[in-house]
Structure 1
Amino acid sequence: MATMTELSPTAGKYSQDVQGDEKLSPGKAPSLCPTRYGIAFITHLCNFIIVAQNIIMNITMVTMANSTNHQSQFNSSTEGLPVDSFDDPNNSPKSLPAGGLGYGGQFALWERWSPPNERSRLCSIAFSGMMLGSCIAILLGGNICQDLGWPFVFYIFGGVGCVSCLLWFVLIYDDPVTHPWINITEKEYIISSLAQQVSSSKQPLPIKAMVRSLPLRSLCFCSFSHQWLINIMVVYTPTYISSVFNVDIRDSGFLSALPFICARVVGILGGYLADFLLTKNFRLVTVRKIATVLGSLSSSASLVVLPYVASSYITAASLLTLSCGPSLFSQPGIYINALDIAPRHSSFLMGASRGFAQISAILAPTVSGFLLSQDPEFGWRNVFSLSFAINTLGLILYLIFGKADVQDWAKERELTRL
């Protein structure tokens, strides 16, 4: 049996340019049923169920509260949140940040499983499960509540969660060395491609240096601002359609979910596009920033013009698709940037940045609910304009301060021996 010390570095080597950004030299990798892509799809399923379970909590809260009335009042939006609830800003919907710890844990995997020239696509495949979770929960959650009763939402999505956990426990391993079924060629390819990036030595987290790091600060704030945009689209898109165009939940279900279907496809394609640009000698930092711009600016701009130009239900659904669809271009941008600037600490950084970003899951609905209650006539314009302003500010900070080379505080500290 081959061990890590017996594997020779034959592929995926790094070379450094004068700016310190990493250029990736291509290596030959096995293409038939690679284990790393199987791990990406299992992670995709886990992300799907994490987000879906968060959303179904929003869907069922009102139905559970009204179940004692022996009649369904679940008739205003796919989210299960009546438009009347915005009359009281305290009733504004909040996406629950449950499962947030799982995001950071995934990066502990990709530290050891993702060759640098495939990192964008593997992470994009995994993260696109979040949009699939939004899509399926919005599309089916309301109908399940109406047709079968709200407990069945938990039975169905809870069952899928149990299946995903079982697959994770059986098929996911810490690294290629410990995986019992991986092809030896793929194992050698992955380990050799990461040989100059990941070290097995344990070193303490440089907390003070992290706090002072402008690239890390800009990454966290850009993640927060982009997640604000995502939360507005997930929580308020169905409510906007229902309240403005008076479309019944059963009629609006598919079109409400269509933007998230497009976003999932775009997220996967964006990862492949990012890796393709790297093979064309684009700098890594340039690729990350291009992806972030495509995922932020176009989405927020489409959303902010929505109340001004949407004269019909079809027009609104088209603009919402244009807004939500490109948003996942940011996956191979800011959302995996921690693997670039601090591969040794990326799992901690992604957990921290995700945790900071998830603050928007509470603030965005609360602030938006207040704006809608204070100004019923122009409330939607204010909500979408504020989302555009916050998202643009985060993008500007990232474009100015964002980096993609390993930071000094994240580099290996060599020990001298006497």
Structure 2
Amino acid sequence: MDRKPSNGTKAGCIKVRWMICIITLMMIFSLVATKVCLSLAIVAMTDPDYDELTPEEAALIPSAINLTVTDEKTNETKVIIVEQRNKNYINWTQSTNDKLLTANFLGAVLSPIPAGRISEKFGPRRLAFFLATLAGVSMLVFPAACKWSFPVAFILRLVQGFCTGCSMPCAHVLVSRWAPKYEKTLFASIMNSGGLLGALTTSPLVGALSGSTFLGGWPSVFYLIGTLQLIIAVIWLFTVYDDPESHPRISDEEKQEILENRLTNAGDSNISMPWRHVLSSAPIWALIISNFAWGWLESIISGQVPSFLDSVLDLPIEQNGLFAALPYLASIFSSNIISWISDKLRSNGKYSTSAMRKFFADIGFIGSAMCLVAATYVGKRTALIVTFIVACKAFSVAQVAGCYVMHLDISPTYAGSIVGIMETSQNIASVAMNQAAAMIVGDEPTLESWSNFFLITAGLSIFGTHYFALLGSSKLQKWDPSFKSVEQAIEDDLNGDEVTQTIYDPDIIVRDSRRNTIVSEFPPHLS
């Protein structure tokens, strides 16, 4: 391992790795805000009364007209300018709006896997800085592009989606290099909280700015988020480094602590990705299937719950927005508490890492599925329905300690590429979920149709957690460059000699007693 000469510094009050974790949270927050803001801002951007007109027809209608008014007492004539329609309206129809909203998703689908591999080979610092800067600039010019040309606005939105899709691969490469073994779950959870905070705060901000006259109303949304993104990009460039070895201000004590308690070496990432072994690995497919199920569930909470509350409870838009935000607030706390508990249980040496990952995957899938289904069996009791929805999201994020971090155990060297595969699986699940909702719930939703849809989701969740429990494993895989031996991989997974055997440790190991070597094991290494 190539190391730079020691800088002789002593440990400070705040660990450098946690500063990097918080700044990464800010980066993810700004990129998620980029993704979320348009879905609400587009309502203020377009005039619903002009939906049936073509852009050419709408353009012929003046934004204001002059009225001549005569005062009967003084017989004076005045010309009054009456605004006929908002001058900031864009002449787009609903189908045009839908195309623009799709552009972000297309960019997010295409980017995670290549972003992960580029981050591994060249480091996440420069890549994330470039993408955040690109996203920030595109946000600043987006209002002008919307007024000028729809194709240009579509391309900018595609670019913003591409940048957003790269955030998690970059973040998880940092986790693999900066987080010690018994901190990586909490490390990843805190970073992931940036996305939850973005979803929680962006919608109220967009609503307030769009309804104001500040910088023209809705354009101010993009100016503010774009400026914030550029500021965070500059902070990122001067504070975040690819690994502890290259950081100029980290103390010797902290650097040594990280290097002694992590598996990966940044130099190993230059080795070609063994795609054949990766795609034929049983634990990898456990991650793909379980993340598909989780992506489906998360998409329901973020995309369908407002519609569910509206159709079942017929709530005012203000209340609907508040209740839709509560699950994110609860999940920020539950995610980090669960992750801290997971790391604590592993560091105590009482439970294996595989057992902890599968246990919290069960909590996430089964707990959230039960709450989601229960929400359709309490009639129209607002308090109970909202409670079950909030609990559903709070349980769901237990996956941050379950199927969403196991790739850091099985292959820290290729953490970016594998999380890219997982993110792609989640994005595909989101599309499939929306199509299923359109078919099952339909245009005239009822409590019964929602119940049927949620039951199907519960079934998918149960399948996902069982598949994960059967083939999932936190043992370092043989195709990862940091792999030394089967015995070492098993020892690392067990977290100590006094580990408690659980139902989540069904491994079957055949050992040659004469040579003291492992002959075979289950789950298998299919490659």
The Cα of 1:357 is off from its aligned counterpart by 1.5
Which residue pairs with 1:129 in the alignment?
194
| Aligned match for 1:145, one of 181, 192, 210 | 210
Aligned-partner Cα distance in 1 for 2:31–2:459: 28
**One-letter identity of the residue aligned with 1:200:** G
Identity rate of aligned residues, in percent? 23
The Cα of 1:38 is off from its aligned counterpart by 0.8
Q: Cα 1:242–1:376, aligned 2, differ >3 Å: closer, same or farther?
A: closer
- Is the Cα–Cα contact under 8 Å of residues 11 and 252 in structure 2 kept in the other structure? no
Q: Cα 1:379–1:63, aligned 2, differ >3 Å: closer, same or farther?
A: farther
- Is the Cα–Cα contact under 8 Å of residues 221 and 357 in structure 1 kept in the other structure? no
| Aligned match for 2:265, one of 176, 198, 214 | 198
SS of 1:116's equivalent? Answer: coil
- Is the Cα–Cα contact under 8 Å of residues 211 and 217 in structure 1 kept in the other structure? yes
| Aligned match for 1:107, one of 172, 178, 188 | 172
Long gaps (5+) in structure 2: 51-83, 87-93, 109-160, 485-527
Aligned-partner Cα distance in 1 for 2:410–2:27: 26
SS of 1:373's equivalent? Answer: coil
Which residue pairs with 2:365 in the alignment?
296
Which residue pairs with 2:147 in the alignment?
none
- Is the Cα–Cα contact under 8 Å of residues 359 and 402 in structure 2 kept in the other structure? yes
- Is the Cα–Cα contact under 8 Å of residues 177 and 264 in structure 2 kept in the other structure? no
The Cα of 1:31 is off from its aligned counterpart by 7.5
Which residue pairs with 2:148 in the alignment?
none
Q: Output the TM-score relative to the length of structure 1.
A: 0.82
SS of 1:117's equivalent? Answer: coil
Which residue pairs with 2:152 in the alignment?
none
**One-letter identity of the residue aligned with 1:403:** S
Which residue pairs with 1:270 in the alignment?
338
The Cα of 1:259 is off from its aligned counterpart by 1.0
Moved more, 284-293 or 152-161: 152-161
**One-letter identity of the residue aligned with 2:331:** A
Per-residue CA deviation, residues 375-418 of structure 1 (Å, 9 max, x unaligned), is: 6333322332222222221111101100001111224489xxxx
SS of 1:51's equivalent? Answer: helix
Aligned-partner Cα distance in 2 for 1:255–1:375: 22
Aligned-partner Cα distance in 1 for 2:337–2:4: 36
Q: Is 1:392 aligned to residue 459 of structure 2?
A: no
Q: Is 1:382 aligned to residue 452 of structure 2?
A: yes
The Cα of 1:230 is off from its aligned counterpart by 0.6
Matches within 5 A, 1:220-369: 220-281=288-349, 282-369=351-438
The Cα of 1:39 is off from its aligned counterpart by 1.0
**One-letter identity of the residue aligned with 1:40:** C
Aligned residues: 373
Which residue pairs with 1:42 in the alignment?
23
Aligned-partner Cα distance in 1 for 2:385–2:203: 17
Which residue pairs with 1:82 in the alignment?
none
- Is the Cα–Cα contact under 8 Å of residues 177 and 266 in structure 2 kept in the other structure? no
Moved more, 97-106 or 111-120: 97-106
- Is the Cα–Cα contact under 8 Å of residues 11 and 254 in structure 2 kept in the other structure? yes
Q: Is 1:56 aligned to residue 2 of structure 2?
A: no
Q: Which protein is bigger by CA-based radius of gyration? A: 2
Q: Cα 1:353–1:146, aligned 2, differ >3 Å: closer, same or farther?
A: same
SS of 2:272's equivalent? Answer: coil
Aligned-partner Cα distance in 2 for 1:413–1:102: 27
Per-residue CA deviation, residues 201-220 of structure 1 (Å, 9 max, x unaligned), is: 43211111111111101101
CA RMSD of superposed structures (Å)? 2.6
- Is the Cα–Cα contact under 8 Å of residues 259 and 325 in structure 1 kept in the other structure? yes
Per-residue CA deviation, residues 65-102 of structure 1 (Å, 9 max, x unaligned), is: 43674789xxxxxxxxxxxx9xxxx99x8783321122
Q: Cα 1:314–1:160, aligned 2, differ >3 Å: closer, same or farther?
A: farther
Structure possessing the higher relative contact order (Cα contacts under 8 Å, 6 or more residues apart): 1
Aligned-partner Cα distance in 1 for 2:357–2:258: 22
Q: Cα 1:383–1:179, aligned 2, differ >3 Å: closer, same or farther?
A: same
Per-residue CA deviation, residues 230-285 of structure 1 (Å, 9 max, x unaligned), is: 11101112222223222222233332211110001111111111111112221010
Q: Cα 1:106–1:270, aligned 2, differ >3 Å: closer, same or farther?
A: same
Moved more, 141-150 or 394-403: 141-150
Which residue pairs with 1:403 in the alignment?
473
Matches within 5 A, 1:56-95: 56-66=37-47, 69=50
- Is the Cα–Cα contact under 8 Å of residues 30 and 186 in structure 1 kept in the other structure? yes
The Cα of 1:228 is off from its aligned counterpart by 1.0
Aligned-partner Cα distance in 2 for 1:364–1:63: 27
**One-letter identity of the residue aligned with 1:49:** S
Q: Cα 1:157–1:360, aligned 2, differ >3 Å: closer, same or farther?
A: farther
- Is the Cα–Cα contact under 8 Å of residues 171 and 191 in structure 2 kept in the other structure? no
**One-letter identity of the residue aligned with 1:393:** F
- Is the Cα–Cα contact under 8 Å of residues 138 and 256 in structure 1 kept in the other structure? no
Which residue pairs with 1:21 in the alignment?
none
- Is the Cα–Cα contact under 8 Å of residues 341 and 405 in structure 1 kept in the other structure? yes
Which residue pairs with 2:120 in the alignment?
none
Matches within 5 A, 1:155-166: 155-166=223-234
Q: Cα 1:223–1:178, aligned 2, differ >3 Å: closer, same or farther?
A: same
Aligned-partner Cα distance in 2 for 1:214–1:242: 42
